[in-house]
Amino acid sequence: MPGSPPPHPRTQETALGWDWHTGAVFSSPTIAHIPSSLVRTGVTQLKAGSFLRVPSLHLLLFTSNSFSVIEDDAFAGLSHLQYLFIEDNEIGSISKNALRGLRSLTHLSLANNHLETLPRFLFRGLETLIHVDLRGNPFQCDCRVLWLLQWIPTVNASVGTGACAGPAALAHMQLHHLDPKTFKCRAIELSWFQTVGESALGVEAFSYQGEPHVVLAQPFAGRCLILTWDYSLQSFRQEEELSAPSVVSCKPLVLGPRLFVLAARLWGGSQLWARPGPDLRLAPLQALAPRRLLRPNDAELLWLDGQPCFVVADASKAGSTTLLCRDGPGFYPRQSLHAWHRDTDAEALELDGRPHLLLASASQRPVLFHWFGGRFERRTDIPEAEDVYATRHFQASGDVFLCLTRYIGDSMVMRWDGSMFRLLQQLPSRGAHVFQPLLIARDQLAILGSDFAFSQVFRLEPDRGLLEPLQELGPPALVAPRAFAHITMAGRRFLFAACFKGPTQIYQHHELDLSA
C-alpha cells in the first residue's frame, strides 16, 4: 500500500487540551516533528466549519460516535489535514461537499458506517489521495454507486470497497467485481408541456427554411394548421392555416424554397397547396384525382426513382388507393392500387434496398408491394395479421420492424426475416387506432394509443429486442389519440399527440440520470 501508515494519536505521547469552540479533546504531541492530531468520541453532529479554530490538524479520528450526517464544508479550513478516519460510527449520509478543501488529504477511511451510497463528486478536488477505505458499509449496488465504480479506475489510489448489501441479486458481491457497463442508469420521461385547441386526426413534423414546423389535420375546424416555435414566449404558435373542410391528413413536402401540403379530404375533393417561397402564403395548386380518391383515410410521402410521390389510401368501395407523382408543376396519378379493398392505411418503407409499400385494409390482411419496372407489384401479405387498421415501421440494429395496430385484439410487433414479416410480440390494445414508433434522441419508442384507456409508451430494449413498458401518457389524458410526431426545437425535444375527441397535447422529452 502506497504511503506510510499514519501515527495513531492514541499511541503518541501527547499533551491534552480542551477546545471550547468545538467541544472536543485535542492532542498536541510533545515530539515536535510529529504533526498535531485530534481524537473525537461522543460527537452527536458534524456541521459546517466545525474545525475552523484548529486549522493546523494533520490527523483527525472519529470513532464510536452517534452522529449520522456529515454536512457540507464540515472540514473547512483543514488544508493541512492528511489523515481522516471516520470509522465505526452511525453515519448514514454524507453531503457531496463534506470533504471540500482537504487538498492535502492522503488517507481517508469511512469504514464500518451505515452508508448505503455516496454522493457523486464526493472526492472531487482530493488529488493527493493514496488510500480510501469504504469497507463495512451496507452499500446498495444500484445506479447510485455507478459513479463510484467509474471513478475507482481513474485514481492513483488503492480503494477498499467491501461488498454489496443489496439488491438481493447482488448481495455479498464485492463492489470491485461489478461491471459498470451492466448498469442501466439512464431513464426518460415525457411530461406535459402545452395544449393546442381543436381536435386533430393527423400531425406531421417538417423543416422549412431551417426551422422545424408541425402541421395538424383538424377536420372539425376545417383546416391544416401549421405551427412554429415562438422564441419569445418559448412555446408553439400558429404560423399559417389553409382551408380544408373534412380533412383527414395534411402531408407536407419541402423542395428547396417551395412548400407543398397535400390535404386529403373526405368530402369536396383532395387538394394540393403550394407556397412558392418563404415570404409568400400557401395557395391551392390543384385538385388531386377526384374520380379515384373518394374517401381518403391516409396519405404518405415517398421517393421513387428520384422523384417525390404521394400515396393516398382510399377507404371507399368505389375509389382506389392512388400513387401520385410529380409531373411538371403538379402531382398526377401514376398508378391505382388495391381497388375495392377499402384501404385504411399506407406505409412506405425500404426492404432489401428497394422501395416497398404496405397497405392495410378493412377487407383483408396487409399487403406488401415492391417497386419493380416503374410500378408497384404485389410481393406478399402479412401472415397472422387479420383486422389490422394501420401499420408503421422502424429500424433498429439493422433490422426492420413493423408495428401493426388492431382495434380489437392484440396489436403486434413483427420483424423482417428477409422474405416476410414474422411475429415478434403481441401487446393488448383494445380500442387502439394508432401504434406508432418514434426515434427520440437515442430512444426507440413506440406509443400505443387507446380510446378506452391511457396511451402507453414502450421503449425498445436492445438486449432483448422487445418493446418494454415505459410510462403512460398523461395527465392530461389523451382523448381518442390518432397520430404522434416528434420535433426538436431550441435544443428541446417535443412529442405531439393528435386526438380525435380532444385537443392536441404536447409533451416534452426529458432524460434522467439515475446515477446522479
Can you give the CATH number for the domain in which 109 is found? 3.80.10.10
Residue that is written with C-alpha cell 412506405 in the block: 348
In terms of domains, do 88 and 170 share one? yes
Question: What is this structure's pTM?
Answer: 0.81
> Residue 27 pairs with which residues in a beta bridge?
16, 37
In terms of domains, do 47 and 168 share one? yes
> Residue 166 pairs with which residues in a beta bridge?
140
- The range of the structural domain enclosing residue 222 comes to 209-273
The C-alpha atoms of residue 6 and residue 223 are separated, in whole angstroms, by 79
Residues with Cβ within 8 Å of 349's Cβ and at least 6 positions away in sequence, in order, are 356, 357, 358, 393, 400
Contact 106, 131 (CB under 8 A): yes
In terms of domains, do 135 and 264 share one? no
Does a structural domain hold residue 454? no
* CA-to-CA dists, residue 57 to 23, 54, 93, 334, 464, angstroms: 16, 6, 24, 87, 56
Instruction: Determine the average pLDDT of the residues in 238-259.
Output: 97
Last residue of a domain, one of 255, 273, 291: 273
Does a structural domain hold residue 110? yes
The C-alpha atoms of residue 416 and residue 402 are separated, in whole angstroms, by 8
| pLDDT at residue 174 tops 70 | yes
In terms of domains, do 171 and 266 share one? no
The pLDDT of residue 101 is 94
The pLDDT of residue 422 is 95
The pLDDT of residue 204 is 98
In terms of domains, do 174 and 71 share one? yes
The residue type at 383: P
Does a structural domain hold residue 411? no
Last residue of a domain, one of 273, 289, 308: 273
Does a structural domain hold residue 170? yes
The pLDDT of residue 50 is 86
Does a structural domain hold residue 263? yes
Instruction: Determine the average pLDDT of the residues in 335-347.
Output: 87
Residue that is written with C-alpha cell 452508508 in the block: 115
The C-alpha atoms of residue 39 and residue 16 are separated, in whole angstroms, by 10
Does a structural domain hold residue 93? yes
Contact 490, 229 (CB under 8 A): yes
In terms of domains, do 51 and 178 share one? yes
Last residue of a domain, one of 241, 273, 305: 273
In terms of domains, do 43 and 161 share one? yes
The pLDDT of residue 41 is 61
Q: How many distinct structural domains can be found in the chain?
A: 2
Does a structural domain hold residue 499? no
Q: How confident is the model at residue 42 (pLDDT cuts 50, 70, 90)?
A: low
| pLDDT at residue 180 tops 60 | yes
| pLDDT at residue 85 tops 60 | yes
Q: How confident is the model at residue 3 (pLDDT cuts 50, 70, 90)?
A: very low
Instruction: Determine the average pLDDT of the residues in 24-45.
Output: 50
In terms of domains, do 71 and 148 share one? yes
Q: How confident is the model at residue 319 (pLDDT cuts 50, 70, 90)?
A: confident
Ranges of H-type helices in 91-248: 146-151
Q: How confident is the model at residue 81 (pLDDT cuts 50, 70, 90)?
A: very high
Residues with Cβ within 8 Å of 261's Cβ and at least 6 positions away in sequence, in order, are 215, 224, 242, 250, 251, 252, 253, 272, 273, 274, 282
In terms of domains, do 179 and 65 share one? yes
In terms of domains, do 178 and 226 share one? no
The C-alpha atoms of residue 434 and residue 411 are separated, in whole angstroms, by 9
| pLDDT at residue 4 tops 50 | no
The C-alpha atoms of residue 249 and residue 204 are separated, in whole angstroms, by 9
DSSP state of 21: T
In terms of domains, do 115 and 167 share one? yes
In terms of domains, do 110 and 165 share one? yes
| pLDDT at residue 225 tops 50 | yes
The C-alpha atoms of residue 471 and residue 342 are separated, in whole angstroms, by 34
The pLDDT of residue 198 is 92
Does a structural domain hold residue 71? yes
